[in-house]
A and B are shown apart, each in its own frame.
Chain A
């Protein structure tokens, strides 16, 4: 407690220049000193790193399955190399549907990122601006709840709303004199349904993290802005949004890393034969192709392709993010 207040004092007085930057000396010596000084930090890292080494890097050798004809009996290392080594990559790239799969995956995923992120940020801002605390509490809880419904259930709800024969929405359309629309079977509507249901499901869930970030903004900044005569919209634009910028960038960069994951379960539950041309994604293709006899090598090859794309995007995005000082490393 006393220490805390002491810190507070120090913070408020603010030292003009950060201390502890020693002038350049011999490189190796300096590194050694820096490492020694950070020893407590390494001690903290030890346990988590050990975990990563065991449970994440331990099985990583399994990636080579992508280049092998995996035989369960011979094991991962003992299985023969695929001939040619890119056999399973080739199977994926030469699929009749490859271009379509890639396009669908990219578009569905991109729309989901854009719509999901923007609606969540918007909701967080709205909640933050809400001065009726009961309304805020209720909406926050209600919008968080759909996250707990599985896609199967949401599909059931979607059918009840959108089915051309019994769906509520189509009943309204008919009453207004229109003709029913097969939202779930129409290639024009299907992606919209996917993206909207995704944004709906995670609206409040996605907003939590932005709310946590907004809470961390120094209230003094708002006070100063008010004194300067800034209205609420200007405060949002000049204080709130910049204040959560690095969190927005972080989430965006991480989502780019999984750009080629468009949500297997979601699509698999929702799609049907009539919308394959706009709905079939890489993961549903892998699932159907490997279904008969569990083709682990194919799954690994496709997984590696997706990861490599994700890795390049993350590296690129991180470089761009440096401009806004939002880089991950």
Chain B
């Protein structure tokens, strides 16, 4: 008994000593810096954090003579923590930020105006990203954030090829064919197990199952802003949306959509598809073709064979997917750094470094010799890259060239990557829009979601769509929101 007590006490004491000594080390290191080195804190919102043995940090530190600390915080706590540190006057030296927050913080004078630096200190960065990308970080014509390079488009409709074959069906090309296939998947026992346990489509609560359908009717998707005949339009107001909604309502009313989509989280939808409960879903190629995933769904369902299909065409002609090229990561620098020129220079160095050929290659592929070898100018990854490189993206602050990156890291999936990126698109501009101050986005989006769910399920007839629109525009202030949004999009130079 007493020996047990002693052991417990000893282990507690040990943990106490350890924890306090950790704390001690850290705070002194933080205050003093690492000798001559300047400490840079970079904060980004993600659940993932770099490993203890952080190879990239060591390399970047070495290259720039800094002590780089990448801090990650997941979920909504990120913005809370960021706000708190800004209020306390010790913000990170570089932080990722949403566009509404960017506008707000810029107007409160908390962010460094980067306009003058862009063509001087930051030329490596400006050359790395396209001029269009750069506009994504502008607020009222001034550069307040560094936007990351926009990447490839990943998602597409995926369909069970083996189910099609079992039922003697072709890959659907139009929305009507899609409906027939979905109905067959639901009613005709595509997996031949004799049970009525399958659905045509599944998806998550974000209406993802229907994403590729709006375009077939000429709509850019509900709530999206896009150009139609040279004019900026909003998806709710566009009559084409109502047509698409009628078709989606038909899918749901005929029971060919997994009714659980309303409660499904993203991963639940994933699992349900892999379990063989539905034959069509809208997913990124990475979730469908990376070996670890294929392995899993093959083990669960050896016959399963998923293939991509183009967005179906419809009354408005060829199908298309809404794509927002401005949905990029934005990085801001606190204005307080203006006074600390040496540190500011190091922040610029960091941004330029990860945008330079050498630095960008480092944050994409790791160390030459260890993670990749060079065959001429071509990067050939080694097994170590897959083993140790899962977190490298955290350091891809200004983005990467997806064409090169994906071809190198996912050579086996090239066909799917190209398919997804070469689909027809409708460009949307939501990422340029910040809601005006007196617009209650919370109330409006609840109203929209609720009514849309009712339209989709057929609980509310589409004859009441105009009534819905009228309430939204007038009672929820959506008309003002649209006006403001159009102005902002025009200000970004989208419509002449």
Task: Determine whether A and B are in direct contact in the complex, meaning some CB atoms lie less than 8 angstroms apart.
Answer: yes
A182, CB-defined interface residue at 8 Å: yes
Cα-based distance from A72 to B334 in the complex (angstroms): 12
Cα-based distance from A72 to B87 in the complex (angstroms): 5
Contact call B101/A163, Cβ cutoff below 8 A: no
Partner of A71, one of B76, B108, B452: B108
Contact call B83/A294, Cβ cutoff below 8 A: yes
Size of the B side of the interface (Cβ < 8 Å), in residues, is: 40
Contact call B205/A272, Cβ cutoff below 8 A: yes
Contact call A289/B440, Cβ cutoff below 8 A: yes
Within 269-297 of A, Cβ neighbours of B (below 8 Å) are at 272-274, 276-277, 280, 285, 287-294, 296
Q: Mark A132-163, 1 if CB is under 8 A from B, else 0.
A: 00000000000000000000000000010001
Query: Which among A89-97, A220-228, A252-260 touches the partner chain?
Result: A89-97
B450, CB-defined interface residue at 8 Å: yes
A1, CB-defined interface residue at 8 Å: no
Contact A294-B80, Cβ < 8 Å, known A273-B262, A274-B453? yes
Cα-based distance from A277 to B450 in the complex (angstroms): 9
Please give, as numbers and ranges, the residues of chain A lying within 8 Å of B446 by CB-CB distance: 97, 276, 280, 288
Please give, as numbers and ranges, the residues of chain A lying within 8 Å of B259 by CB-CB distance: 164-165, 182, 185
Chain A binding surface, main DSSP class: loop
Contact call B83/A288, Cβ cutoff below 8 A: no
Q: Mark A77-116, 1 if CB is under 8 A from B, else 0.
A: 0000000000000010001110000000000000000000
Contact call B450/A276, Cβ cutoff below 8 A: yes
Contact call B443/A74, Cβ cutoff below 8 A: no
Residue of chain B at shortest CB distance from A98: B443
Minimum distance in angstroms from B278 CB to a CB of chain A: 10
Q: How many A-B residue pairs have CB under 8 A?
A: 88
Cα-based distance from A273 to B453 in the complex (angstroms): 7
B460, CB-defined interface residue at 8 Å: no
A199, CB-defined interface residue at 8 Å: no
Contact call A293/B100, Cβ cutoff below 8 A: yes
Residue of chain A at shortest CB distance from B476: A96
Contact call B263/A291, Cβ cutoff below 8 A: no
Contact call B110/A292, Cβ cutoff below 8 A: no
Partner of A95, one of B108, B197, B205, B443: B443
Contact A273-B475, Cβ < 8 Å, known A71-B108, A96-B443, A164-B259? no
Q: Mark B445-456, 1 if CB is under 8 A from A, else 0.
A: 111011011000
Cα-based distance from A164 to B457 in the complex (angstroms): 15
Contact call B110/A97, Cβ cutoff below 8 A: no
Please give, as numbers and ranges, the residues of chain B lying within 8 Å of A296 by CB-CB distance: 83
Contact call B108/A184, Cβ cutoff below 8 A: no
A75, CB-defined interface residue at 8 Å: yes
- Known pairs A272-B262, A273-B449, A291-B441 / 12 extra A-B pairs, C-beta < 8 Å: A72-B105, A159-B263, A159-B268, A163-B260, A164-B260, A273-B450, A291-B76, A292-B434, A292-B435, A292-B441, A293-B434, A294-B83
Q: List 7 A-B contacts (CB under 8 A).
A: A97-B443, A165-B277, A182-B259, A185-B262, A289-B443, A291-B76, A294-B83
9 smallest CB-CB distances across A and B, nearest first, come from A289-B442, A288-B442, A293-B100, A73-B108, A273-B453, A292-B100, A273-B449, A73-B110, A293-B104
